[in-house]
Chains A and B, each alone.
Chain A
Amino acid sequence: MSTTEEHATEAGHTGFLAIELDGAGWDGGDFASLAEAVLAVESAGFHAATFTDAPVAGRTNALQRAAYAGPVTRSIALVPEVDTVHTEPFHVSTQLASLDYVSGGRAGWIATAAESPEAAAAVGRSDVTGAALAQEAAASIEVSRRLWDSWEDDAVIRDVATGRYIDVDKLHHADFETPADFAGAGYSVKGPSIIPRPLQGQLPVLAAASLVGEGQVSADGVDAVLVTAPTPELLAAEIRDVRSRLGAPVAVVAELDVVLDSRGLAAADRAAGSESGRARYAGTAAGLADLLESLLVEADGVRLHPASLALELDELSRLVLPELRRRGALRAPVPGGTFRDLLGLTRPASRYTDSSAATAAGN
């Protein structure tokens, strides 16, 4: 245990905890409202909340739920899943940039690409399968990133003397075209974005590790990956494996289902039921603290999927998170920090900054 603490302290590499809020449902589930649920996880000390967008009856749009949570929270990162395959990349980019504005720079994006004949039929497209899914995801991420960069940071000048609100040299056409070997129907996006550059410059993009790598979404396209293994025991090995496959710049977030002894109910009795394919911890709060401490040595963060948001959150906020903080395994929340800050990412310059400077110099 002491080596763990040394490692964490030496590297300055304490981890963060995210929580999947979907159990809260559109109306907050056990909570009176979504606002109450997100405030509860923020005050429990979670660093990020994620919002699922799987096509389940009764579930509202994930990005809008994240946006709703923006103004009522102060430090927690808000990270919705947004599909890349059956959506309009231009809309997705604008919506995500807007989420960054309404959350004060705390937005992220879990870019998803799932085979879904239902989603395809809903928008009148033929089903996208296999390798084409990753190609759609890569294209959508690239379009968004270009559009986010399409306004340089100082494009809005409000220069009263010349009457200019913007400096048009600092706005750029994204000029995106799908690659020649694109499996789906190719498209192009002209740009620029209709909204100035997001507060973070670029929102952190997350994707399932299984979607990232050679021949899929390139590791350069994402900032973090979500790593899944069938059991808690196999999770650490899988994290190491993904890290060596993708290289250091990509943050690694481990996925863990959690069922805790709570309110006199044994986790073992509550654990029956749905199979998510994720590693599952069922047991005491103390046991979970030990497991998370060991996982946070390997991973940059862990995302918890509680069986019941209300029940697990009770235990997590009273017992698990305080214990992890006491052990120095959790990163301190940064007041006014961005999601990029949490991931240890600097704010990048727009990719167009240099080219426009060169153009200006050439003129």
Chain B
Amino acid sequence: MTQHSGAQSDVFVPTGKLQFGVFFQGVNSGTIWKAAESGSQTDFESFRRIVQTAERGLFAAFFLGEGLRLREHLGRPHALDVVGRPDAQTMLAALASVTTNIGLVATQNTTYNDPADLAHRLSSLDLISRGRAAWNIVTTDNAWTGANFRRGGYLDHADRYRHAEAFVETAKRIWDSWETAEGPAGRVLHEGQHYTVDVTPRLPRSAQYRPVLFQAGDSPEGRDFAARQADVIFSAHPKFDAAVEFRKDLVARSLNAGRGANAVQIMPASEFILAPTADEAAAKKEWVRSLQIGPQQAVAYLEQFWGRELSAYDPDGPLPEIDPVVEETSETRGSGFHGAKARQLADQWRAEAKDKGLSIRQFVTSRTARVDATFTGSYSAVADQLAEYARVGAVDGFNISPWLIPSGLDDIVNHLVPELQERGVYPTEYRGSTLRENLALATPVRSVEAARAL
């Protein structure tokens, strides 16, 4: 198996290459459902088409998010955004039978899963897909989500990474405990503050040894966690200068964690709005934005932060002059609610909107559209831009969220990928059949003795 020359070295070495992943969002306002060509977010055929298009474009990985409770708005499920998605691993197991090379990444929460059960299911996916599974590790800390689970809301915010790390270590021990020829090496025990695990692992290792680990947190704790545990970090810093900064920071943290400078790869979340010419791309961007954030969505977005109904406000007028509800009530939950910080946030936003002369709709569009994460332009101009990322090693690739399902990757695969290949910065074939091979990651070999000693 190949690996970066710098994986064990203390000097970062750019590979000069990029790889793509696709993040089938399935939910939220980034996915356009109002256009004539918008398909279903839940039909299997939508997933099949996206993943097969991605594989045709030699994408390294196909990502699915995880939902554990529907977002609510003023005490009820949110009416305006795309909502509803299948279980990640079940869908990926199905997609494994209609693909051969692309990696299959399941976002799975460490808080509302049991380590032995999740490790077994991920290992199953890895075997069923013949070495293509990955786990995007995320954490939750809120009791609101816990209302759907046996343990309820048991974890403090401060504990979530400590808990996640114990969880991941336990999963790794389960995966590492079965060497190819020897069978299971015995029980894996873990006794922690929040749970106890006593399990005899049942599955052999896969063609890629064990699932690849992705991580998406961005706080200092999240970055350190990724530097210690992950193979790939799914970052929020796609802009060139920020990406270079993030690389520096992550290399330092990786070295600090005793790993090589290239040990953790970086794939920022991104969105592409492409056309043959710059003008066409700019026009397309206007169209995309108008469909992503309609007038009702703009007002509803503010309602999440204000904690109260704002339907009397004109989406094309200024931000509401009334103040948010500050108490943390059970009215509004989900991605937005900031409780006591809400009033301060409202003041700040009103000032910003006034300063820039933005209406509610314009302001919300500027906040919600992935401004940093969007590459807009002609195929060749964007390819030039990306080639520069590859040259300096700002990132290892991009994790693309298509704004249209199921045709949203077509222009990327048909036009952008060939341009990148011409520039020598994108693969022209899959290196191998496992995700670890295709990402050029080192094999995490551990002896039975080492696994036992953990």
Choose among B48, B116, B125 the residue that contacts A122 (Cβ–Cβ < 8 A). Answer: B116
B93 and A64 form a contact (CB under 8 A): yes
Instruction: Tell me, yes or no, whether B255 is within 8 Å of chain A by CB.
Output: no
Q: B97 to A98, Cβ gap below 8 A?
A: no
Digitize A140-181: 1 where CB-to-B-CB distance is under 8 Å, 0 elsewhere: 000000000001000010101011111110010000000000
Bound Cα distance A69, B68 (Å): 26
- In the complex, the answer to whether A64 meets B121 with C-beta atoms within 8 Å is yes
Q: Which of A191-199, A263-271, A319-327 contacts B (4 or more CB under 8 A)?
A: A191-199
**Bound complex: CA of A189 vs CA of B78, how far in Å?**
19
A67 touches B94 (CB 8 A): yes
| Cβ contact within 8 Å between A60 and B124 | yes
A106, B112: Cα distance in complex, Å: 28
Contact between chains at B91 and A98 (CB < 8 Å): yes
What mask results when residues 67 to 87 of chain B are scored 1 for a CB within 8 Å of chain A, else 0?
111100000111111111111
Query: How many residues of B are in contact with the other chain, CB < 8 A?
Result: 63
If A87-B117, A123-B114, A190-B69 touch, does A71 touch B202 (CB 8 Å cutoff)? no
Chain A positions within 8 Å of B196 at CB level = 121, 124
Name B346-363 residues within 8 Å CB distance of A: none
Q: Mark A49-86, 1 if CB is under 8 A from B, else 0.
A: 00000011111110111011111100000000000001
Taking the nearest CB of chain B, how far is it from the CB of A108, in angstroms?
14
Smallest Cβ distance from B368 to chain A, in angstroms? 14
Best-surrounded residue of A94, A122, A162, A185 (most CB of chain B within 10 A): A122
Contact A88:B113 (CB < 8 A) given known A163-B297, A194-B70: yes
Q: A167-B79, A195-B85 are in contact. Are A88 and B114 (CB under 8 A)?
A: yes
A61 touches B120 (CB 8 A): yes
Measured between alpha carbons, how far is A190 from B43 in the docked complex, in Å? 25
CB <8 Å contact, A122 and B127: no
Q: Which residues of B contact A121 (CB under 8 A)?
A: 196-199
Given A68-B96, A160-B34, do A191 and B84 touch, yes or no (CB 8 Å)? no
Name the contact of A104 in the complex, choosing from B44, B82, B117, B147 (C-beta under 8 A): B44
The reply to whether A98 and B86 form a contact with Cβ atoms under 8 Å apart is yes
Residues on B with beta carbons closer than 8 Å to the beta carbon of A27:
127
Q: Closest residue to A87 on the B side, CB-wise?
A: B117
Among A87, A101, A168, A190, contact of B44 (Cβ-Cβ < 8 Å): A101
Q: Is the CB of B202 within 8 A of A195?
A: no
Q: Are B121 and A58 in contact (CB under 8 A)?
A: no
A31 sits at the interface (CB 8 A): no
Looking across the interface, which residue of chain A has its beta carbon closest to that of B98?
A71
Q: How many chain A residues have a CB neighbour from B under 8 Å?
A: 62
Q: Which residues of A contact B78 (CB under 8 A)?
A: 168
CB distance from A352 to the nearest CB of B (A): 13
Q: Is B407 an interface residue (CB 8 A)?
A: no
Q: How far is the CA of A68 from the CA of B128 in the complex (A)?
A: 8
Contacts of A59 in B (CB 8 A): 202-203
**For the complex, what is the distance from the CA of A305 to the CA of B228, rounded to whole Å?**
47
Tell me which residues across on chain B come within 8 A of A90, comparing CB atoms.
Answer: 68, 112, 148-149
Contact among A55, A70, A164, A171 for B80, CB-based, below 8 A: A164
8 Å CB contact of B202 from A55, A95, A185: A55
Q: Check if A129 is an interface residue, CB within 8 A of chain B.
A: no
A195-242 interface with B by 8 A CB criterion: 195-196
* Residues B202 and A57 in contact, CB atoms below 8 Å apart: yes
Q: In the complex, which of the residues A88, A104, A167 contacts B150, with contact meaning CB atoms closer than 8 Å?
A: A88
Contact A94 B86 (CB under 8 A): yes
The reply to whether B69 and A194 contact each other, CB–CB distance below 8 Å, is: yes
**With A and B bound together, what is the CA distance between A3 and B27 in angstroms?**
58
Interface pair B148/A190, CB less than 8 Å apart: yes
> Across the interface, do B93 and A91 meet the contact criterion of CB distance under 8 Å?
no
A57 B77 Cβ-Cβ under 8 A: no
Residues of B within 8 A of A97 (CB): 86-87
A86 to B124, CA, bound (A): 18
Contacts of A69 in B (CB 8 A): 97
State A22–B387 Cα separation when bound (angstroms): 49
Q: Which of the residues B48, B70, B95 comes within 8 Å of A192, measured between beta carbons?
A: B70
Specify which chain A residues have a CB less than 8 angstroms from the CB of B117 in the assembled complex.
86-88, 122-123
From the candidates A65, A70, A190, name the one contacting B147 in the complex (CB within 8 A): A190
Judged by a CB distance under 8 angstroms, whether A290 is at the interface is: no
A209 to chain B, nearest CB (A): 27
Complex Cα spacing A9 to B295, Å: 61
The answer to whether A6 has its CB under 8 Å from any CB of chain B is no
A114 CB to closest chain B CB (Å) equals: 15
Give the residues from 82 to 141 in chain B that come closer than 8 angstroms, CB to CB, to chain A. Answer: 82-87, 89-91, 93-98, 112-114, 116-117, 120-121, 123-125, 127-128
Q: Does B33 contact A (CB under 8 A)?
A: yes
CA distance in complex: A72, B93 (Å): 12
Counting chain B CB atoms within 10 Å of each CB, the highest count among A34, A89, A118, A166 belongs to A166
Residue of B nearest to A67 (CB): B93
Q: A residues within 8 A CB of B195?
A: 123-124
A residues less than 8 Å from B33 (CB atoms): 158, 165
Cα–Cα, bound, A164→B83 (Å):
11
What distance in Å separates the Cβ of B124 from its nearest Cβ neighbour in chain A? Answer: 4
Q: How far is the CB of B36 from chain A (nearest CB, A)?
A: 10
For B200, list chain A residues within 8 Å (CB). 118
| Known contacts A102-B44, A123-B114, A195 near B127 by CB under 8 Å | no
Give a binary string over B190-211; 1 marks a CB under 8 Å from any A CB, 0 the rest: 0000011111101110000000
Can you offer 8 A-B residue contacts whose CB atoms are under 8 A?
A: A64-B90, A70-B94, A88-B149, A97-B87, A160-B34, A168-B76, A171-B76, A195-B86
Not counting A59-B203, A101-B44, A163-B296, a sample of 18 additional A-B residue pairs whose C-beta atoms are within 8 angstroms of each other reads: A27-B127, A57-B184, A64-B121, A65-B124, A65-B128, A67-B91, A71-B94, A97-B86, A98-B91, A102-B93, A121-B199, A122-B198, A123-B197, A163-B80, A164-B79, A171-B77, A185-B150, A188-B147
Q: Which residues of B pack against A, CB within 8 Å?
A: 33-34, 42-44, 48, 67-70, 76-87, 89-91, 93-98, 112-114, 116-117, 120-121, 123-125, 127-128, 147-150, 152, 183-184, 195-200, 202-204, 294-297
